[in-house]
Amino acid sequence: MKKKGITVVFTGDGKGKTSAALGVALRSLGWGGSVLMIQFIKTQKEVGEVQIAGKLKGLEIIQTGEGFYKIGKDLKKPDVHKKAAMDGVDMAVDKMMSGKYDLIVLDEIVMAVSLGLLKEADVLALIENKPEELNLVLTGRGAGKKIIEAASMVTEMKEVKHSFKEGIQAVKGVDY
């Protein structure tokens, strides 16, 4: 019997979307799987997941973004960020079709849609055209109704309390 992959979405305004995706990746690696994480928007190399990627057999992380983007406040033109996001989608298609991976995580791809860097249709096409046996995880704030409907499983992270609001900066090893 051929295995059937699922599509998982981690969304919401709370912390933990990327962390949850990394937990799924760790499970896949534990069973001998091959995992690729493509990080949209992100470019920071000094994060725990990038530091460990070279040390864990079967885990590859590629950052395709131009850095975090705020509409109307970014120093770079939106076209630069849109091109980077579309390049990430093109890479995701190539990697999905390669047959090399058991799990692909598209980190912050939902946020790229929320920011207008990608069209929701681009993400829906990835979900619809993924190989049947591939597991796919999407993360980011603001998953729309169509993405939620297309997914097999959706978890919404809800912020209840955040240390940043109490003046505590991001904690190495916990937040990044």
Residue 79 C-alpha from the chain's centroid? 21
Q: Write down the pLDDT at residue 79.
A: 84
Pure H helices in 3-144: 17-30, 48-53, 78-97, 109-114, 120-129
- Nearest to 114, CA basis, from 12, 22, 1, 16: 12
DSSP state of 166: G
Q: Are strands 7-11 and 153-156 parallel, antiparallel or unpaired?
A: parallel
Q: Which residue matches tokens 């990430």?
A: 88
- Give me the residue spans of the domains in the chain: 7-166
All residues at 6 or more sequence positions from 62 whose CB lies less than 8 Å from its CB, including other chains: 36, 37, 38, 39, 91
* Local confidence pLDDT in tens for the 176 residues of the chain: 458 999 999 999 999 999 999 999 999 999 999 999 999 988 777 787 888 888 889 999 999 977 766 655 655 677 888 999 999 999 999 999 999 999 999 999 999 999 999 999 999 999 999 999 999 999 999 999 999 999 999 999 999 988 878 888 877 777 77
Architecture of 7-166 per CATH? 3-Layer(aba) Sandwich (3.40)
Evaluate whether 11 touches 157 at the Cβ level (below 8 Å): yes
